[in-house]
Structure 1
Amino acid sequence: MQQKQKHATKLTLKTLVLAMASTAPASVLAAVDIDFYGSLRMQAEAVHPDSSAEFANGGNSSYSNIRDAYSRLGITANWQANDAINVFGQLEVPIDTANFKIQDPYDDRRDLRVAQVGVSGDFGTLAYGQMWLPFYNAISYKVDRFSTYYSGYATLAFFRAFNTVSYYSPDFNGVSFGAGAVIKDTSDRADTFDDNRYQFTATYNANGTDFSIGIEQVDDNKDTRLLGAALGQQIDNLYLGIKLEQSSAKGSADANVFNLYADYTFNDYTFKAMYADVDGFGGQIFHLGADYQYSKNLKTFIEFYQQESVNALAAEKAGGSGSFRNPLGDFEPDAKKGGGKAVAVGFRYDF
């Protein structure tokens, strides 16, 4: 979440969609399976900075307000070209319900979450566009299981990227592989990078055990690299997750990440807890929560979140990047610390 982002433009995507729709044969369009979906996620929160902490734009007053927790609207399309090949596409946009805008609640320059096309079959899945990355899917996702805005920050991995090619292999007796290449992009789009990035993951998933290792290699002059290993273990109603990451680059000290997560489901309730230690992005992090599954589509939740230094906490209705960037703490050498805590209650409605 902490990466430098660039402004997202809509014209290219809109033009592409219109062109595809206008040139596709009617028989093909009739055979396309189209699904619309959405998820409305909101929270009311009380945020309390530590006495030694300060927001990036100044001040350290506590506040209570509402915040979006990653609401989204999307559409998927699937076309079975033949018995062996399925062609698919997906478009998903963020809805910042607290600010009433089409933008990500972390970075207001993002107006796309996913925009990808691909093919799948017995050979696996090959896709291009803006998507979730293989390293996050295999490593970070195993401990990204909370419900509030504050879920998923205890990592050094990037979540999604534009201009990406990914491949996921079929399952070989529980063993599968993922690979991705993020192609450098000098445009003003969000989720782009100045250097090519290459990812590879290997996963074993069987009988409740989900173990993965992964690497991201950046094509720069610093040999920047991120290594990761994660285990998710389901034991009846108990889930345990452990994650390790190490980021290295020439001329810089290594940054290490450790996560220990657990949740337990009892009837319609799920109780969650995580401890994490993230070098350079949050320090020691404590996260507690409980979900209540009111119905198939509706979930309510309450969570407590605490960070030692700059990480997820931000000023009222602001985020960690973009024009409304105002996190608690900052990365400048002379910046005040970003320690603080938050309590949030909210709901999630999927449709």
Structure 2
Amino acid sequence: MKHPHTLPLSAALLAAMAAMPAHAELTVTPYGSLRIQAEAVSVDEAQPGEDDSYTGLRDAYSRLGVNASYNDFDNVDITATLEFPINSARLRAEDPTFFQELYKEDNNSMPRVATISAAHDQYGSVTVGTQWLAYYNNVAYPVDFFSSFYSGYATQSAFRRDALTYTSPSLAGITATVSGVDMTDEAGTRYLDTMQYALSWSLDKLTLAAAFQDTEQDSGDRADQVGASATYTTGPWRFAAKVEQLLSHSSVSEDPDPVTYNLYGSYSWNKYTFKAMYAQGEESDGEGEAFFQGDSVHVGVDYQHTEALKLFAEYFYEELGYAIYTPNSDSFNPLAGYQVQSDGQVFTVGLRYDF
């Protein structure tokens, strides 16, 4: 349920930027990215009414947006971003995962990002609006480096929500983040019903990070989350790993606190980048009950044809139905059914053009 007293963030951001003095040093930069793929998909057994395999087109997170920066204050930089999802395969302004409508009902075309941020060298930054979340940025993002639609599914974290976030300045490579998040948008809960805390440490080629999510403090109906990641880069090689665990409250008995593990590696050579990732979703005692997609494998290669144009080819496998959707999906609808044993496979080729 939406909060009737809350001004939509996109409208609030536009109003705030328009209210700035005419003489201000305001820079506005539009941008966009077309990302689309052709794919051949198969599962062991599709849900009733669907074929076990198909070929088709799928959007891979196209977007249109605008960045604005304002530097008329001493030692403080004001920036704003407004970005909308574009489902290029369906020619609609919508999130191709349809996760947004699970957050705010009937609002799948809401902005992917709608933020205003104030940053100070000595005191850090404050960001308000629809944003990439602190838990995701520190734990899940280090292994979310593929180019296709299937990138990023092997995580417990939510990607984007309305939030108010403070990030400290870096001190000896250490950065702390505290964020109040509107996780559910449900009636009877506070607007910022969830807290996220993250800490990262960067030293030369190595970055370590950890995060904790105190979920839905008003109700305690859903599990908290804890996770950690490590990233190491040397020359053309990049390696990353993460681990996450759900921490169920005593009132939550159906979930034995599953753990997910991810290992990622990539190698860059000339215009090519070769990538591989293995993710393990720990299963519970009940048959077919595992974290989201169970185990998954993802391999691929990118070819950076020009600065703006990237071509990619990937193979993706998931044990349980989660990321592999029905053709021409208009909602979150896994081809085999959600968390049903699927042994789903995808071969995909696509392009990304940034402008």
- Give the drift of 1:24: 3.2
Find 2:63's aligned residue among 55, 61, 72.
Answer: 72
Contact 1:329–1:339 (CA<8 Å) still a contact in 2? no
> Residues 116, 194 of structure 1: CA spacing in aligned structure 2 closer, same or farther, 3 A cutoff?
closer
> Residues 198, 71 of structure 1: CA spacing in aligned structure 2 closer, same or farther, 3 A cutoff?
same
- Give the drift of 1:62: 0.7
User: Taking CA–CA contacts closer than 8 Å with sequence separation of 6 or more, which of the two structures ends up with the larger relative contact order?
Assistant: 1
Asked if 1:329 corresponds to 2:328, the answer is no
Contact 2:9–2:130 (CA<8 Å) still a contact in 1? no
> Residues 317, 43 of structure 1: CA spacing in aligned structure 2 closer, same or farther, 3 A cutoff?
same
Distance across 2 between alignment mates of 1:256 and 1:185: 22
- Give the drift of 1:281: 0.8
Aligned partner of residue 16 in structure 1, secondary structure: helix
State the partner residue of 1:106. Answer: 97
State the partner residue of 1:216. Answer: 213
Distance across 1 between alignment mates of 2:186 and 2:210: 32
Residue 130 of structure 2 aligns with an amino acid whose one-letter code is Q
Asked if 1:46 corresponds to 2:40, the answer is yes
Aligned partner of residue 106 in structure 1, secondary structure: coil
State the partner residue of 1:132. Answer: 132
State the partner residue of 1:285. Answer: 296
Distance across 2 between alignment mates of 1:292 and 1:228: 32
Distance across 2 between alignment mates of 1:341 and 1:6: 37
Distance across 2 between alignment mates of 1:126 and 1:202: 16
State the partner residue of 2:318. Answer: 307
Residue 202 of structure 1 aligns with an amino acid whose one-letter code is L
Matches within 5 A, 1:111-190: 111=109, 112-122=111-121, 123-162=123-162, 164-183=163-182, 186=185
Contact 1:185–1:193 (CA<8 Å) still a contact in 2? no
State the partner residue of 2:266. Answer: 263
Contact 2:275–2:301 (CA<8 Å) still a contact in 1? yes
Aligned residues: 329
> Residues 25, 267 of structure 1: CA spacing in aligned structure 2 closer, same or farther, 3 A cutoff?
same
> Residues 235, 25 of structure 1: CA spacing in aligned structure 2 closer, same or farther, 3 A cutoff?
closer
State the partner residue of 1:203. Answer: 200
Aligned partner of residue 141 in structure 2, secondary structure: helix
Contact 2:13–2:114 (CA<8 Å) still a contact in 1? no
Aligned partner of residue 126 in structure 1, secondary structure: strand
Residue segments in structure 2 that go unaligned for 5+ positions in a row = 102-106, 282-289
- Give the drift of 1:317: 2.5
State the partner residue of 2:52. Answer: 61
- Give the drift of 1:328: 2.4
- Give the drift of 1:183: 3.4
- Give the drift of 1:54: 2.2
Contact 1:184–1:193 (CA<8 Å) still a contact in 2? no
Distance across 2 between alignment mates of 1:44 and 1:6: 36
Distance across 2 between alignment mates of 1:285 and 1:276: 5
> Residues 128, 215 of structure 1: CA spacing in aligned structure 2 closer, same or farther, 3 A cutoff?
same
CA-to-partner distance for each residue in 1:134-157, whole Å, 9 max, x for gaps? 010011001000000000000011
TM-score by length of 1: 0.87
Residue segments in structure 1 that go unaligned for 5+ positions in a row = none
Asked if 1:274 corresponds to 2:284, the answer is no
State the partner residue of 1:83. Answer: 74
Distance across 1 between alignment mates of 2:331 and 2:168: 40
> Residues 17, 222 of structure 1: CA spacing in aligned structure 2 closer, same or farther, 3 A cutoff?
closer
Residue 303 of structure 1 aligns with an amino acid whose one-letter code is E
Contact 1:328–1:339 (CA<8 Å) still a contact in 2? no
Distance across 2 between alignment mates of 1:69 and 1:151: 9
Distance across 2 between alignment mates of 1:197 and 1:274: 30
> Residues 20, 167 of structure 1: CA spacing in aligned structure 2 closer, same or farther, 3 A cutoff?
closer
State the partner residue of 1:297. Answer: 308
- Give the drift of 1:324: 2.6
> Residues 242, 193 of structure 1: CA spacing in aligned structure 2 closer, same or farther, 3 A cutoff?
farther
Distance across 2 between alignment mates of 1:104 and 1:193: 25
Contact 2:320–2:340 (CA<8 Å) still a contact in 1? no
Aligned partner of residue 324 in structure 1, secondary structure: coil
Distance across 2 between alignment mates of 1:215 and 1:238: 29
TM-score by length of 2: 0.86
> Residues 49, 6 of structure 1: CA spacing in aligned structure 2 closer, same or farther, 3 A cutoff?
farther
State the partner residue of 1:12. Answer: 8
- Give the drift of 1:100: 0.3
